[in-house]
Structure 1
Amino acid sequence: MSTFAENINQICKLKGTKLTTLVKGCGYSSSKTTAINRGSIPSEKQLIKFAEKLNCSVKDFFADTTSERNDYYSNEEKLLVEGYRNMPNSHKHKLLAYFYELLELEKE
């Protein structure tokens, strides 16, 4: 069974960040990172902030297995990431420009 610290660190890694960056980005000091890595479980309010920042569910922090966390991404999301990683930079820039354009359209 995975610990909370192992899970949150793994989720951070999957999301391309580090626990310290997450903690500081939520307005807490780096001592919170040390406390988590030593076994402390953050408050409900802090857990919610972390989940929002990582775009995941609080329950993901308490998943029993790695496979449960890996199922977080849909097949479409995995395909998009894999395709993006294999694109030449010129295509990546075009895709991102189109992506930002779509986000703006959603705001209207």
Structure 2
Amino acid sequence: MSFKENINRICRKRRTNLTAVVKQVKGSSSFTSAINKGSLPKEDEMVQMAKILHCSVIDFFMDEEDLAPQNESQNEDEADILRIYRSLSRRSKHKFMSMVYEFEHREELEVDKESSTHSEGNPHRTAQA
């Protein structure tokens, strides 16, 4: 998506329009047509626009795939996990998430253990208390 498409999309989402935003930044709305024809505002103006629209400057340069909802499963395993989770009672969901967090913590510990094992022979390794 182009800058003009993204900024207009964000304006609609914020229930405003590009003319109003440009007027706040530049004091005049005349630059609106230049943006809609493909011109880009200066960097400091983009920062001001982002503040007005409560977004990040990077949002002005998003592509279609960046905007795709991330709640869609990426593969069959994710779809199965989501299906199972949604079928659980509230109490079972709590237990399920506890197991997930425990698994995540265990994985982090294994990564830490592996990285410390690889650095044992390194004379530049910092001592751990």
The interval holding the TM-score normalised by the smaller chain is 0.5 to 0.7
Q: Output the TM-score relative to the length of structure 1.
A: 0.59
Task: Show the counterpart of 1:58.
Answer: 57
Query: Aligned runs of 1:65-84 on 2, under 5 Å?
Result: 65=64, 68=67
**What are the superposed Cα offsets for residues 37-90 of structure 1, whole Å, 9 maximum, x if unpaired?**
00001110000000000000000000001752877xxxxxxxxxxxxxxxxxxx
Percent identical pairs in the alignment equals 46
Which protein, 1 or 2, shows the higher relative CO under an 8 Å CA cutoff with sep ≥ 6? 1
8 Å contact kept, 1:12–1:18: yes
Quick check: 1:31 aligned with 2:30?
A: yes
Instruction: Label 1:13 to 1:54 Cα distance change in 2 as closer, same or farther (>3 A).
Output: same
Distance 1:13 1:48, change over 3 A: same
Q: Which runs of 5+ in 2 are unaligned?
A: 71-129
Work out the number of aligned pairs and report it: 70
TM-align CA RMSD:
2.0
Q: Look up the match of 1:3.
A: 2
Q: TM-score, normalised by structure 2?
A: 0.50
Alpha-carbon separation, structure 1, partners of 2:68 and 2:21: 18
Give the 3-state SS of the residue equivalent to 2:26 in structure 1.
coil
Moved over 3 A (4+): none
User: What secondary structure is seen at the aligned counterpart in 2 of 1:59?
Assistant: helix
Deviations along 1:9-34, whole A, 9 cap, x unmatched? 00000000000011112233211101
Structure 1 portions without partners, runs of 5+: 72-108
Which entry has the higher C-alpha Rg, 1 or 2? 2
